[in-house]
Amino acid sequence: MDYQNYNGIFYIRVDKNEEIIQSILDICKKEGIMSAVFSGIGGCSEAEIQTFIPESGAFETEHIKGMLELISVNGNVVTDDENNYFHHTHAFFTYKENGKHKAAGGHIKSITVLYTAEIELRPVIGGTIKRKYDPETGTGFWDLKNY
């Protein structure tokens, strides 16, 4: 992985066999970025896609593997009151399976790079977005108090 800060915006190249989400979180921790949004594209080898099932209050996970074109990854990074880092990420992939073109997307647990991924990370300016736990869903949402 390599990255550069240009005028407060971070441009990240994630390399072969590296995991995209962890790379973004590592940069946020290293650079002291407490909240940010990100987007990107790439060529990947594996992804864990999750779908939240409200009736069970849990995520179902699907693993996809192969030459995955990462059409779009979008997400955010926030911290809680103890400065633990959390991501909320969605992505969309295209790939071939049994000679047919397929597509898959949703909430992302992890994405492993095959060739490269190019990510733009934009820290929140003038404040911090925190994470607020929601007991109904068992997940966290943005806390937009003035931090």
- 75-107 confidence digits (pLDDT tens): 999 999 899 999 999 999 999 999 999 999 999
What is the arithmetic mean of pLDDT over 120-131? 95
Of the listed ranges 45-49, 119-123, 127-131, the least confidently predicted one is 127-131
How far is residue 52's CA from residue 72's CA, in Å, rounded to a whole number?
Answer: 20
Q: What pLDDT, on the 0 to 100 scale, is given for residue 138?
A: 76
Q: What pLDDT, on the 0 to 100 scale, is given for residue 120?
A: 98
Domains located in the chain, CATH noted: 2-143 (3.30.1330.80)
Q: Which tokens go with 140?
A: 């966290």
What is the arithmetic mean of pLDDT over 2-18? 98
Q: What pLDDT, on the 0 to 100 scale, is given for residue 140?
A: 86
What is the arithmetic mean of pLDDT over 46-65? 91
Q: Which tokens go with 66?
A: 């192969």
Q: Which tokens go with 76?
A: 């955010």
Q: Count Cα atoms within 13 angstroms, Cβ side, for 93.
A: 30
H or E stretch including 111? Answer: strand 100-123
How far is residue 116's CA from residue 20's CA, in Å, rounded to a whole number?
Answer: 10
Contact between residue 25 and residue 119 where contact means Cβ atoms under 8 Å apart:
no
Count the Cβ atoms, other than its own, within 10 Å of residue 140.
15
